[in-house]
């Protein structure tokens, strides 16, 4: 079993000079001023007034490495296009870490970081044992000639996966507003915060607005 990994993101591509392109397209009705490089005020105005269509003029694709548990949540965002590592064609070899937290008693979507260190340590040991045992059974099944698409049923949700997530800047804005907010699982929120940082580097005007 490979060393446990931590979820990570990496930008694959983004519309060149994305902020300027969006501003240029937003001024389609004002061609005399279309080449104006100062677009920050315009884009802020579009956001505050709900003119979201202009943010469809730019796109971004991000590589995400995470667990199957979190990828299932990400794939629910259907305004994006996805490509994910296929366990039908390639063998699974790695797992993601998962910290133990307690269930929030008032919100079924929330957890709290208030477990004792003993309970956290217990969960960590049990998870590692489960992952090692599952991977051993998985590899044995493949050695016996079982197809990967069948053998993967033996693997836990902590199995690592990689996916590409591509969408318009409009889709990314709405995704980040949702998934960096309260109610998102911590591991998913960490991914969204990484992507948010990347997006703001590409479109500085979004800082403080998403």
Percent over 70 (pLDDT), the chain? 97
pLDDT of residue 3: 47
Q: What band does 6 get if pLDDT is binned at 50, 70 and 90? A: low
Q: What are phi and psi of 83, to 5 degrees?
A: -135, 125
Q: In this predicted structure, which of 34-38, 118-122, 145-149 has the lowest mean pLDDT? A: 34-38
Which residues are known catalytic residues? 179
What does the DSSP 8-state code read for residue 116?
Answer: -
Q: What band does 15 get if pLDDT is binned at 50, 70 and 90? A: very high
Q: What band does 7 get if pLDDT is binned at 50, 70 and 90? A: low
Buried b (16+ CB within 10 A) or exposed e, 23-32: bbebbeeeee
Per-residue pLDDT tens digits for 60-113: 999 999 999 999 999 999 999 999 999 999 999 999 999 999 999 998 889 999
Q: Which CATH class is domain 8-206?
A: alpha beta
Per-residue pLDDT tens digits for 100-143: 999 999 988 899 999 999 999 999 999 999 999 999 999 999 99
The DSSP bridge partners found for residue 161 are 66
Which residue, 204, 173, 193, is CA-closest to 53? 173
């Amino acid at each position: 079993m490979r060393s446990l990994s931590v979820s990570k993101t990496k930008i694959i591509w983004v519309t060149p000079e994305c902020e300027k392109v969006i501003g240029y397209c937003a001024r389609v009705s004002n061609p005399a001023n279309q080449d104006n490089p100062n677009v920050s005020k315009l884009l802020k105005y579009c956001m505050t007034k709900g003119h979201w269509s202009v943010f469809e003029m730019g796109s971004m694709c991000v590589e995400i490495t995470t667990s199957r548990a979190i990828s299932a949540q990400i794939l629910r965002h259907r305004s994006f296009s996805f490509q994910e590592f296929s366990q039908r064609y390639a063998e699974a070899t790695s797992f993601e870490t998962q910290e133990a937290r307690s269930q929030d008693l008032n919100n079924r979507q929330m957890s709290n970081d208030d477990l004792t260190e003993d309970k956290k340590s217990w969960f960590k040991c049990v998870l590692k044992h489960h992952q090692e045992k599952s991977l051993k059974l998985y590899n044995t099944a493949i050695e016996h000639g079982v197809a990967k698409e069948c053998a993967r049923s033996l693997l836990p949700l902590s199995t690592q996966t990689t996916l590409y997530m591509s969408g318009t800047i409009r889709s990314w804005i709405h995704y980040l507003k949702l998934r960096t907010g309260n109610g998102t699982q911590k591991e998913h929120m960490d991914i969204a915060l990484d992507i948010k940082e990347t997006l703001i580097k590409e479109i500085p005007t979004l800082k403080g607005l998403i």
